[in-house]
Amino acid sequence: WSGTGVYTIPAAKLVGDKGFVYSMDVDPYAVEVLEKRCEKLGLKNVEIIFSDLETGLEKNSIDAILLHKPKDTEKLIKELKRVSKQGCVLSVMCKQNEEELKRFLHKHNFAFIDKVDGMLRFVYKK
C-alpha cells in the first residue's frame, strides 16, 4: 500500500518528468495525505489509486513495481501479471517467509534476481 508517500514521493522525484508513478492504497486517510503531499511538492507524475487489488491500469503497462508488505499475494498476483511488461522488476519488502515468497513468485513467472537493503527483487518473464 502507498501509505503517506514514504516510497511514492522519492520514486516520483527519481523518475521525474519522463516517468510516472502509480500508488495504491485502501486507506482513505493515507490517500488523502499522499494527495496533499504530492500537491504541496508540485508532483504531477503521481496517480493515487484507491483500491485493494484492481488497479484499472492497462495491460502490459508497468516497468517496475514496489510492494511494501503485501497482504494477499494470491489475489494480488493476477493483477501484477496483467499490468507487468515483459522484464518488469518487482521489488518486495517482505513480511513473510522469503523462500516461500520466492517459490510462489517463481511459479507465476517472476524470477528472483537478488536482495538489496531488505528488498527482494524479481523480474517478470512471460
- Identify whether residues 48 and 59 lie together within a single domain: no
Amino acid residing at 55: T
- Identify whether residues 60 and 74 lie together within a single domain: yes
Question: What's the total number of domains in the chain?
Answer: 2
What are the grid coordinates assigned to 2, written together?
502507498
What are the grid coordinates assigned to 12, written together?
516520483
Residues 6+ apart with CB under 8 A from 19: 45
Query: By the 8 A CB rule, do 65 and 84 touch?
Result: yes
- Identify whether residues 37 and 58 lie together within a single domain: no
**Coil/strand/helix, residue 104:** helix
Other Cβ atoms less than 10 A from the Cβ of 102: the count is: 18
Q: Please report the pLDDT score of residue 118 as a whole number.
A: 85
Residue 30 has pLDDT above 70, yes or no: yes
Average pLDDT of the segment spanning 37-55? 92
- Identify whether residues 122 and 63 lie together within a single domain: yes
| Cα–Cα distance, 100 to 14 (Å, whole number) | 31
Average pLDDT of the segment spanning 117-126? 92
Average pLDDT of the segment spanning 82-94? 93
- Identify whether residues 33 and 13 lie together within a single domain: yes
| Cα–Cα distance, 63 to 124 (Å, whole number) | 10
CATH code, domain carrying 95? 3.40.50.150
> DSSP H helical segments within 16-121, as ranges?
28-41, 73-83, 98-107
Owning domain of residue 61: 54-126
- Identify whether residues 109 and 80 lie together within a single domain: yes
pTM over 0.95: no
- Identify whether residues 114 and 89 lie together within a single domain: yes
- Identify whether residues 25 and 71 lie together within a single domain: no
| Cα–Cα distance, 11 to 56 (Å, whole number) | 20
DSSP designation for 18: G
- Identify whether residues 47 and 60 lie together within a single domain: no
Average pLDDT of the segment spanning 84-102? 90
- Identify whether residues 94 and 66 lie together within a single domain: yes
Average pLDDT of the segment spanning 30-45? 95
- Identify whether residues 36 and 92 lie together within a single domain: no
**Percentage of residues in the chain having pLDDT higher than 70:** 98
